[in-house]
Chains A and B, each alone.
Chain A
Amino acid sequence: MEVKKYILPTAILCLGLLLPQLLDFFGLQYLLSLATRALIYGLAASSLNLILGYGGLVSLGHAVFMGIGGYTAGILLYHIQAGSRILGLLLPGSFWNSALIAWPLAIVLAALFALVTGLISLRTRGMHFIMITLAFAQMVYFFFTSLDAYGGSDGISLYGRNTLPGLDLDNDQVFYYLCLVILLIVLFLMHRILQARFGRAFIAGRENIVRLQALGIAPLGYQLSAYCLSGAVAGLAGALLVNQGEFVSPDILHWTRSGELMVMVLVGGMARLFGPVLGAVVLLFLEEYLAMYTDHWMVIFGPFLILVVLFGRSGLYGLLFEKGERS
C-alpha cells in the first residue's frame, strides 16, 4: 500500500521530465508551448490555492498579480528591445534584459501590490472580500487598457525573451524545463511553509478565526503574509507567461481570467498541493481538444463545472488519489 501510493506521482513526474522528448518522438512538438502554458497556469493556480484552498480567502481578482508581473517583464523587455527610455532613463540592455533582474522585480511589485490591497481587503469578510479583490483587479485592468504607450487594450508584442546566464530561454525546450523546475521548487516551498507553524496558524484561520484569536494568535499578520506570498508567486507566473507568449495585453488580468484560475483550483482539487497544477493541465488540454471538435465547447464545459461544484468537492485530485481516504 505504502509503495503503491508513490507509483502514480513518480510516473507523473517522469512524464513531466520526459515530455519534450516524447512530444518530439511522436511529432507533436506544437504541444510543447501548450504544456509550458499549463505549467505556468499551474503555478498561478497554486498561488491562488494557497489563499483560497488553505486560507479560505475567496479572491476574485487573483489575475491582477499575473498582470502586474507580466506587465513589469513586458514593459522592461519592450523598452530594451526598442532601445527607448523608461521614466527618462536609458537602461543598459545587457543588464536589465536579464531574467535575474526582470523577474525578481515582477515578484516584488506584485507582492507590494498585494501588501497594499491586502491591508485594505483583509479587513472584510465573505461577499465583501470577493467584491473588493474584484474591484482592485478592475482598477488595474482599466489602468492598463488606457495605457496608450503600451498598446492600450491591444497590448504589446515582444521580440524574444529575457536572458538567463547559461540558459537559452528562446529555446522552447529549455523554457519548458525552467518552468517545470520553478513550479516544483515553489510547490516544495509551499509544502514546507504549510507544515510549519506559520502554515498551521494560517490554515486554522480558515477553520475558526475566533478560536485562533482565543489562542492568542492574531490572524491578520498570517493572512497578509500569505496574501503577499501568493501575489508574489502569481507575479512570477505572469512574467513567465509573458516571456512564453512574447506578448502582453490587459487580457492577462481580465476578471474572467481570475475566474478561470479559481476553476483550475476547484477542478484540480482545493487545498491539495498538486491539485491546481492538475486542474490547469486538464483545463488547457481540454480546451485545446474540445475546441478541435466544436467551437462551442464552453456549452459542455459550463454544466460540467456546475456538476463538479455540486458533487465533486475534492476535485480530480481527490477522485484519482484519495480513494476511500475521505469523502
Chain B
Amino acid sequence: MLVFEQILNGLQLGVMLFLMSAGLTLVFGIMRVINLAHGSFYMIGAYVAATVTARTGSFLLGVAAALPAAALTGMLVEFLILRRLYHRDHLDQVLATFGLIFFFNELIRMIWGRSPLFMEVPTRLAGSVELFGGLQYPVYRLAIILVGILVALFLYLLFSRTRLGMRIRAGATNREMIGALGVNIPLLYTLIFGLGTLLAGLAGVMAGPLFAVEAGMGDSVLILTFVVIVIGGIGSVRGAFIGAVLVGLVDTLARAFLPELFRLLLASPSSADRMGAALASMSVYIFMALVLSVKPAGLFPARE
C-alpha cells in the first residue's frame, strides 16, 4: 500500500514537471532557445493565484487570473527580449534569461515582500478519498494528476489534429519555408511561447497549496525540468511526458525507500539514513547520466 501511495505521489510530481517541461521543450525544439526564466512564470502563476484566491475566496477565479497573467508576461518577454536571441548562440540565451530570473525574483520580492504566501487547498478538493484497499489519498493530488493527463491529451490533439499544431510542427522543421507560404512566423512563435508559459503558470497554481509560495520557488523546479527534457529528448513533447513521469517516480521512490534499503545493507541505521538521503537527492541526476550514456540524445529525440 505504501508503495502504491508513493507511486501516486511520484505520478503527481511527474505531471507537474510535465506541465513545466512541455512549454520548455516546445520553445527549445521550435525556436532553439534555452529559457532559464521558465521557472519565473511558474512563480508568477503561483503568486497571482494565491493573491486573487485570498482576496476573492475563489480558487477558480485565482486560476482564471493566474493563467492569463503567466501567458501575457511570457508573450511580453518573448516580444521584447527573446525574439532578439533566436539567432544568437546558447551562451547569450543562458545569460539573458539568467538576467530575467534576477529581475523577476526581485520584482516579486518588491511587490509581495520576502515572507512566503500560503494557499489553502480549495474546499471542494479538500480531504481525502478512499481508493481500493483502504488507501486514503488526498483529492487535491488526484486532481493534479487528472489535470496533467488532460493537458497531455489536449497537447496531443492540438499538435496532431489542428491547423495551428500543423503550423507549429512545420515551423519546427523549416522556418523559412512556411514563412514563404504566408504564415506569420513571429506571431506563431509568440503564441507558442505564451502557451508554454501558460502551462508553467498552471503548474505554479497547482503547486501553490502544496508548497510555500515564495520568490525563487521556480528555480529548483527549473533544474528538474531541464533534467526531464534532456532525458525525454529535447524538443519532443511525448518525450517530455515520459521523462517527467520517470523523473517524478525516480525522485519520489528514491526519497521514500532508499534510506530503508540502506538500513538492510548497513549496520548503523543513522549512517544508512544519511547515505540513503544523500543518494536519494542525487538519484534524478544519476538517472539522467545513465539514460544519456545509453541514449545520448534522450529517449525520444525530435527529428533534426
Produce 1/0 per residue, A146-182, CB < 8 A to B.
1110000000000000000000000000000000000
Q: Does B256 contact A (CB under 8 A)?
A: no
Contact at A306–B99, with CB atoms within 8 Å? yes
Contact at A146–B96, with CB atoms within 8 Å? no
Produce 1/0 per residue, B72-112, CB < 8 A to A.
00000000010011001111101110111111111101100
- Give the secondary structure class of B's interface: helix
Q: State which residues 98-146 of B face A: CB under 8 Å.
A: 98-107, 109-110
Which A residues form the contact surface with B (CB < 8 A)?
A: 52, 58, 60, 120, 123-124, 126-128, 130-132, 134-136, 138-139, 142-143, 145-148, 255-256, 259, 262-263, 266, 295-299, 301-306, 309-310
Residue ID in chain A nearest B298 by CB atoms: A128
Q: Does B60 contact A (CB under 8 A)?
A: no
Residue ID in chain B nearest A147 by CB atoms: B278
A310 surroundings in chain B (CB, below 8 A): 81, 84-85, 96
Interface pairs (21), CB distance under 8 Å: A58-B90, A58-B94, A124-B292, A130-B90, A132-B230, A135-B288, A136-B285, A138-B285, A142-B281, A142-B282, A142-B285, A146-B278, A147-B278, A262-B91, A266-B91, A266-B95, A296-B110, A298-B106, A303-B99, A304-B99, A306-B100
A147 to B226, CA, bound (A): 25
Q: How many residues of chain B get a CB closer than 8 Å to chain A's CBs?
A: 45
A259 to B288, CA, bound (A): 21
Contact at B95–A309, with CB atoms within 8 Å? yes
A143 to B278, CA, bound (A): 6
Pick the contact of B277 from A124, A127, A146 — CB < 8 Å? Answer: A146
Contact at A132–B99, with CB atoms within 8 Å? no
Q: Does B57 contact A (CB under 8 A)?
A: no
A136 surroundings in chain B (CB, below 8 A): 285
Q: Does B286 contact A (CB under 8 A)?
A: yes
Contact at A139–B277, with CB atoms within 8 Å? no
Contact at B34–A302, with CB atoms within 8 Å? no
Pick the contact of B34 from A130, A145, A259 — CB < 8 Å? Answer: A130
Given contacts A135-B288, A298-B103, A299-B110, contact A306 B223 (CB under 8 A): no
Contact at A126–B230, with CB atoms within 8 Å? no
A146 surroundings in chain B (CB, below 8 A): 274, 277-278, 281
Contact at A309–B223, with CB atoms within 8 Å? no
A88 to B209, CA, bound (A): 47
Pick the contact of A139 from B34, B81, B100, B282 — CB < 8 Å? Answer: B282
Contact at A256–B219, with CB atoms within 8 Å? yes
Q: Does B289 contact A (CB under 8 A)?
A: yes
